Structure formats: C-alpha cells, structure tokens
Amino acid sequence: MNYLNKQYKKDGKFKIKHNYLNEQFADTKDYFKLIKDVVSTNDFTLGSYVSKFENKFKKKINAKYAVGVGSGTDALKLSLEALDIKLGDEVILPTFTFYASLNPIIAVGAKPVFIDSKFDFNIDEKKIVEKINKNTKAIMPVHWAGKICNMSVIKKIAKKYNLKIVEDACHAYLSKYKGKFAGNFGHTGCFSLHPLKNVNVWGDGGVITTNEKKIYDRLILLRNHGLKNRNELEIFGHNSRLDTIQAAIGYKMLDKLDNLTKIRRRNAKMYDEGLKVIKQISIPIRDKNIIQNFQLYSFLCQDRDKLIGYLNRFGIDAKIHYPKPMHLQKPCVKNNYHKGKFENAIKIAKNIISLPVHEYISKKDVKFVIKKINNFYN
C-alpha cells in the first residue's frame, strides 16, 4: 500500500524535476551538526529548537504567534478544535483541493460543504453565501499554488455571518496579498513542512500561525495532550508536537526561503511570457495585488494527458495536481457530500497541469520546457 517509494523513484529519474531535495540539502553536514546538538543534550520533546524555529517562522511573515505541530493536516485539525468547530457544524471549503484540507473537518465531526472554484484554482468567493446556514461555522480558503484567495471578500462574509476563517496556507509560505503575508488573514493560518512543500523538513511537520493570544494559548494546550502542567489536564488534546529534530532542520532551512522563492518567481514569469501566446493554453490571471510564491506552476491546457506523456518522454516531470475533486471521492459520495454544481472544478481537474518550477531549475531548463510545449501544439 505504500505507493510513495515507487512514486519518488519514478519522479527521481526525470531530468527536469518537481523536487531537488539532494541539491537543496547538499549541506547535509551542517544539518547533522544541529541534530547532534539535539541528541547530545537529550532535548527531544518540545526542545529548544521548536521555539527557535517558531520564532523565525513567524517573524518572516509578521505573524504574532506560531505553534509547531505534527503536520499540515494536524495544523488544520487543531485550528478547527481551537475555534470550537465540532459535531454538527458545517465548514465551507473548495472541492478542488488536496485531501488534507478535507480530512481535518471530518476528524472534528463537522460536515464539509464544498464550493466550486474559479479558473485561478481558488474557491469562488461569489458562491459562498448561498451555502451558509445556521450550522455554518467556518470557511477554509485554500491558497492554491500560493495564490492567495480573495480574502477581502471572504473576510467580509465571515464577519457578516460570524464565521471563523482557517486558512489552508500549506502552499503559500511567503505569498502576499495587498502587502500582507499568507497566514495573517484567518483566525489561524496553517502550513505544512512536508518535503514537497516550499519550506520543508526531513519528515512531517506543520505550523499554525495566529494573531490572537487566546487562540495561541489553546493551540499550545491542544498539541500537548491538553496539559497545563505535568499532572493536570486543562482540556482534551492530542500528541501533535513538532518534532525537535525536524524543527532544527526547519530552523536552518528557513534561511534559504527568500532566495528559493525569488527563483521560483523568476521561473514562473518566464513560463508566463513563453506560454501565454499558445492558444491551447490558459494561464491564470495574475492579480497585481498578489505576490505568489509558486509552490506550484499550474495552468489549463488542451489535450492535457497527451501533453504530459509528451513532456515525460523528454525527461520533464509534468504532473497533475489533482485529477479528482473532493466531492467525487468515494467517501464523500458515500456520505452524500457530493451534491451540487462543480462545473469549474471538474473542468480544472480535467485540464490542469503543473510544470516543474523549483529553484534548481535553470533558465535554460525553462526555455527547453517552453520549446517542447510549443513543439507539441504545432
């Protein structure tokens, strides 16, 4: 059942890849030094690197508080719990997202209510209000590929109907909207440290940001069993602490983020220029209010599956993120969460493609990919 090993082996064979973890962590020795630090002091559980990492993480995006947790998925789950989302409540989210946005809603006993997307792959904010009823308690916008959702409108809706906002910012570290970083628009902002995300560690990890002390205090309890001290529970909680060794990796890795993001933006811009002239391709609108981190570089295209096969043959790891929206997934259909109109999401799933846009992809590589796409359509 572990399909990941096989997948990573296959992906590693491409010439132009989505991920270059070897190159990114070529300074392995420096990381081992930090790990040695942790081991030699036995500083394993909520060790000092956890708060060091949290401080660095939050400062880079001007958030007041950051809480390191076990994964991006846990970041979402603990956020929902901290905001008192529970059995019988409804949470609004886009159907076009990664599975991890959905599962935390189920985990707290709430009901997911799906919304269609726009062709920039984000939730269609104009379709939110019609789904709000007395059980609706929260909205979970997902900043797809690091493009921040229309938070001006979403915040207005949340205020009017007294809803919480949990930002799924797992794609969006260092993305900005109207001058503000992702992770500062919701009651909480949730990030993943998975090796395939922009800010990553050597296993699993996640971070929750918030600007409210009360929420922060609850999250600190929730990630550590709900314990207020060694012997007393304050609330029910979890074991979802960010591992200290992973925090040490993240602490050092964060220093690379500015440059990494800069090069991703450069590559994306080159793709935009090279591909927008191809009539079979539709690049999402680039909103001038948004500075995107390009966690992914995605667009819609004709003959998508053939194009992917073609690019793969030239050693280019073109991929689909993701071919099946949530409302069509088996457990959602089984539980009757699939009803509604999701025309755009279905079209996106059928026509979306992502190209490698990593910092280790050179200008020459980008030009090569553009050339091959041109050849394919001509």
Q: In the numeric block, which tokens belong to residue 307?
A: 């194009």
Distance in Å, CB of 148 to ligand PLP, minimum: 13
Distance in Å, CB of 75 to ligand PLP, minimum: 7
Residue 79 binds ligand PLP (CB under 6 A): no
Distance in Å, CB of 13 to ligand PLP, minimum: 23
The dihedral formed by the CA atoms of 117, 121, 124 and 128, expressed in degrees to the nearest 10:
70
Residue placing its CB nearer to ligand PLP in the complex, 100 or 222: 100
Residues 196-235 that bind ligand PLP (CB under 6 A): 204, 206
H/E element holding 190?
A: strand 188-192
Residue 117 binds ligand PLP (CB under 6 A): no
Residue 188 binds ligand PLP (CB under 6 A): no
Residue placing its CB nearer to ligand PLP in the complex, 72 or 237: 72
Taking CB under 6 A as the criterion, the residue among 128, 142, 245, 348 binding ligand PLP is: 142
The total number of residues shown for the chain amounts to: 378
CA distance 211 to 224: 20
Taking CB under 6 A as the criterion, the residue among 17, 127, 171, 176 binding ligand PLP is: 171
Q: Which of 49, 67, 57 is nearest to 188 (CA)?
A: 67
CA dihedral sign of residues 44, 193, 69, 174:
positive
Taking CB under 6 A as the criterion, the residue among 65, 98, 181, 294 binding ligand PLP is: 98
Residue 365 binds ligand PLP (CB under 6 A): no
Helix (H, G, I), strand (E, B) or coil at 90: strand
Residue 100 binds ligand PLP (CB under 6 A): yes
Residue placing its CB nearer to ligand PLP in the complex, 7 or 135: 7
The owner of tokens 């930090």 is 34
Helix (H, G, I), strand (E, B) or coil at 301: strand
Residue placing its CB nearer to ligand PLP in the complex, 24 or 280: 24
Q: Which of 374, 360, 285 is nearest to 22 (CA)?
A: 360
Residue placing its CB nearer to ligand PLP in the complex, 98 or 177: 98
CA distance 20 to 266: 17
Q: In what order do the strands lie in the sheet with 90-94?
A: 65-69, 206-210, 188-192, 164-168, 136-139, 90-94, 111-115
Q: In the numeric block, which tokens belong to residue 341?
A: 């109109």
Task: Name the segment binding ligand PLP (CB under 6 A); options: 29-37, 165-173, 214-222, 351-359.
Answer: 165-173
Q: Which of 49, 43, 64, 66 is nearest to 220 (CA)?
A: 66
Residue placing its CB nearer to ligand PLP in the complex, 143 or 372: 143
Residue placing its CB nearer to ligand PLP in the complex, 100 or 105: 100
Query: Crossing angle of helices 363-377/257-275, nearest 10°?
Result: 30
Q: Cα angle at 80 between 111 and 132, to 5 degrees?
A: 45
Distance in Å, CB of 329 to ligand PLP, minimum: 15
Distance in Å, CB of 171 to ligand PLP, minimum: 5
Residue 192 binds ligand PLP (CB under 6 A): yes
Residue 97 binds ligand PLP (CB under 6 A): yes
Task: Name the segment binding ligand PLP (CB under 6 A); options: 58-66, 68-76, 126-134, 207-215.
Answer: 68-76
Tell me the site size for ligand PLP, rule CB under 6 A: 15
Distance in Å, CB of 274 to ligand PLP, minimum: 26
Strands 206-210 and 227-229: unpaired
Taking CB under 6 A as the criterion, the residue among 47, 68, 72, 186 binding ligand PLP is: 72
DSSP codes, 350-362 = HHEEEE---TT--
Residue placing its CB nearer to ligand PLP in the complex, 295 or 307: 295
- Residues 316/354, Cβ–Cβ less than 8 Å: no
Residue placing its CB nearer to ligand PLP in the complex, 124 or 365: 124
The owner of tokens 């209000």 is 129
Strands 352-355 and 290-291: unpaired
Taking CB under 6 A as the criterion, the residue among 19, 101, 184, 200 binding ligand PLP is: 101
Using CB under 6 A as the criterion, which residues of the chain lie in contact with ligand PLP when the complex forms? 71-73, 97-98, 100-101, 142, 168, 170-171, 192, 194, 204, 206
